[in-house]
Structure 1
């Protein structure tokens, strides 16, 4: 009976999680599509609810907080409830601005992770199997990992003006849904940084594959490159998924550093809202909620990928380590 109750609770929890997550992503997709189409339904950053709703909820929250001030024993509880109620109104008014900014955070993260992976795979292979190239890969990886990401972004944006000029002159940049040059420079910086870290994750996974498998691949007629490509890497990349998930989560949060080169992502927009309203706590809490949604979604998605590509007879990607 207890097991059945636990199963029902788990099903209910899973259902609520899917419902809430689905509603949030449906709203985000609506805001993004509406923004791309120039605000055909409502202004790109305009709320769907009237201003009176935000005013009413903020007033109610202030009232609850005032009630708590007169009753010391329950003051903290009333203050928290009042703040939460007021936060609903705040989120209804300023959430759309952060939703539009969240698109840039998604673009930064997804492109940087995928392109970084493409760069990281040959770097990792060079570190393990290269002769001269392993030293080149080592210098690149240690140089990037040993310097702050924000310094790398500053160098690309302020120290290499020709790069900004080149990107700005590319047709279509900054028009429609194509981001402006600052976003592309941020992507380049994140790709460089992420590729170094991912290369080390993959190197560890490559080294966890039995060296005898490459020898066996050579014995059946594959050259060294073919053995690495068709025998070693398919296993190593599976083993690297947990580390790759961590890198994806880190990049979502590190994307906030792009604000230093004028990219209007989530944290940049939250800071702007705080400057406009002086409600910095509310603005940053709301921004944290957006980051949390992205992180939870990324973690859940990668867990599904890990389960899908698990080696038959071995189990999850962790089992191969």
Structure 2
């Protein structure tokens, strides 16, 4: 037991550094970029001409229908055969962004489509353009509904960043693997990595609950403005 405690204590700074340097930035950047991509994809599928909507549908179909790990391997190990070589972190960022974009686009598309048509008509009746109606009336209502599933997607993404270890990104899980290769103590190191993921997920779940409570209390991110 003393040996395990000593090992956990000595390895904790390395694991925390990997978490703060790679796991957290990878999750935040991927989710932010994926959210922008998902919003654009959702709006194209809902409102763009059919050829553009078909391209957006195809993108979503591909990235929701194939495993994330396979996507990462294709980007990092497959693209070099076509003359495109990417840094491991950049490859992971691209892979996670494309994957997140596909999933969040479906969430956003569903919540935007769920806004009653009367809201559009009310916005148009006071002289708003389509863009103004979307920005001031539709999106505030849709985003309030989208917060729980989007929050769950982000929590899942934080855990999925462990897959980046497979393409040599030195994030939390790969750091644990490297220590295991030296200490030959897989049980304690992987348990320790799992606990760090658990702490991150718990913090994010608590933040999600607080955000949902705040939205229910105050009625959304922002009120519709004339």
Under a length normalisation based on structure 1, what TM-score does the superposition of the two structures give? Answer: 0.63
* Per-residue CA distance 1:177-200 (angstroms, 9 max, x = gap): xxxx21121111100100110111
- CA distance in 1 between counterparts of 2:79 and 2:123 reads 45
- CA distance in 1 between counterparts of 2:56 and 2:172 reads 33
Are the counterparts in 1 of residues 141 and 220 from structure 2 also a CA contact under 8 Å? no
* Per-residue CA distance 1:48-97 (angstroms, 9 max, x = gap): xxxxxxxx922xxxxxxxxxxxxxxxxxxxxxxxxxxx3x2221011111
- CA distance in 1 between counterparts of 2:213 and 2:7 reads 39
Q: Which runs of 5+ in 2 are unaligned?
A: 222-226
Match of 1:246 in 2: 152
Per-residue deviation at 1:213?
0.5
Match of 2:14 in 1: 97
- Alignment pair present for 1:141 and 2:39: no
Are the counterparts in 1 of residues 18 and 175 from structure 2 also a CA contact under 8 Å? yes
- CA distance in 2 between counterparts of 1:282 and 1:242 reads 33
- CA distance in 1 between counterparts of 2:214 and 2:94 reads 30
Of the structure 1 ranges 268-277 and 219-228, higher mean CA displacement relative to structure 2 is found in 219-228
Match of 2:172 in 1: 266
Match of 1:112 in 2: 30
- Alignment pair present for 1:123 and 2:41: yes
Which of 72, 85, 90 matches 1:184? 90
- CA distance in 2 between counterparts of 1:134 and 1:306 reads 32
SS at match of 2:78: coil
- CA distance in 2 between counterparts of 1:302 and 1:201 reads 17
* Per-residue CA distance 1:227-283 (angstroms, 9 max, x = gap): 222211111111111101111111111101101111011111111222211111101
Which of 88, 104, 107 matches 1:201? 107
- CA distance in 2 between counterparts of 1:298 and 1:209 reads 27
Are the counterparts in 2 of residues 153 and 189 from structure 1 also a CA contact under 8 Å? yes
- CA distance in 1 between counterparts of 2:37 and 2:211 reads 21
Per-residue deviation at 1:309?
3.6
Match of 2:213 in 1: 307
**C-alpha root-mean-square deviation of aligned residues, in Å?**
2.0
Which of 120, 127, 130 matches 1:214? 120
Are the counterparts in 2 of residues 150 and 257 from structure 1 also a CA contact under 8 Å? yes
Per-residue deviation at 1:202?
1.1
Are the counterparts in 1 of residues 104 and 150 from structure 2 also a CA contact under 8 Å? yes
Q: Which runs of 5+ in 1 are unaligned?
A: 1-55, 59-85, 166-180, 317-321
Are the counterparts in 2 of residues 164 and 182 from structure 1 also a CA contact under 8 Å? no
TM superposition outliers: structure 1 runs of 4+ over 4 Å: none
- Name which structure has the greater RCO, CA cutoff 8 Å, separation 6+: 2
Per-residue deviation at 1:289?
0.8
Under a length normalisation based on structure 2, what TM-score does the superposition of the two structures give? Answer: 0.88
Aligned length: 217
SS at match of 1:264: coil
- Larger helix proportion, structure 1 or 2? 2
